[in-house]
Every structure is written in C-alpha cells, then in structure tokens.
Amino acid sequence: MSLSQQAVAELRFAHERFNRSTQCLPETLWDFAPMPGMMTTSQQVAHCGRVIDWFMEGAFRQEGFDMNFQFPGSGVGRRQNSVSNEKRRPGMRR
C-alpha cells in the first residue's frame, strides 16, 4: 500500500469514527457549552471539520498553511445552528 493510500485509509477511518461519535448527539445538546464563553457542541463539531479542511488545504498547496484564523468566512465566533447542519456545510465531507 502506497503512502497516499495509507493516508486516505486513515482519513476514512477517522471520518467514520467521527461520524459515529457525533450522530448520537441529541438536538438538546447542540447549544450546550461547559462554561460561558466556551464552544458549544455544534461549534466543536464545526471546528473539527474546519481543522481537517485547513490541514488538507495547507498540506497540499504551495503557500503552505494559512495561519490567519480570523479570515472572513472562517466561522470564528459565529453560532452553529446544529450538528447536522454543520456536517452538511460546504467543505464538510460526509
């Protein structure tokens, strides 16, 4: 198995495990945050998706990683409506 095939297999495994661990979250927990000012459940799910997208983009583009985490459209500071909506967001792969 080539290195790229191994990487794809690892990503598929992580994707499957992530979906399995988040699909059981009831809608009543989407807005739960452990403490005021901390991310909610749905924001955490969205954050994971964005980190994966950020890594994949940065790892394979000539400019490398974009370290500007406040760029427009990043979703930093915006409220996510639901876990399932964030999974359907463009860029979130199923």
Residue 93 lies in a domain: no
DSSP the chain: --HHHHHHHHHHHHHHHHHHHHTT--GGGTT--SSTTSPPHHHHHHHHHHHHHHHHHHHHSTT-----TT-TTS-TTPPP--HHHHHHSTT---
How many distinct structural domains can be found in the chain? 1
Residue 94 lies in a domain: no
Residue 32 lies in a domain: yes
Q: How far, in Å, CA of 29 to CA of 25, rounded?
A: 7
pLDDT of residue 31: 93
The whole-number average pLDDT for the span 5-15 is 88
Residue 36 lies in a domain: yes
Q: How far, in Å, CA of 53 to CA of 92, rounded?
A: 8
Residues of the domain holding 58: 3-88
- pLDDT tens per residue across span 58-94: 888 888 888 877 644 445 444 445 455 555 555 444 4
- pLDDT tens per residue across span 41-63: 999 888 888 888 888 888 888 88
User: pTM of the prediction?
Assistant: 0.58
pLDDT of residue 4: 83
Residue 17 lies in a domain: yes
Residue 19 lies in a domain: yes
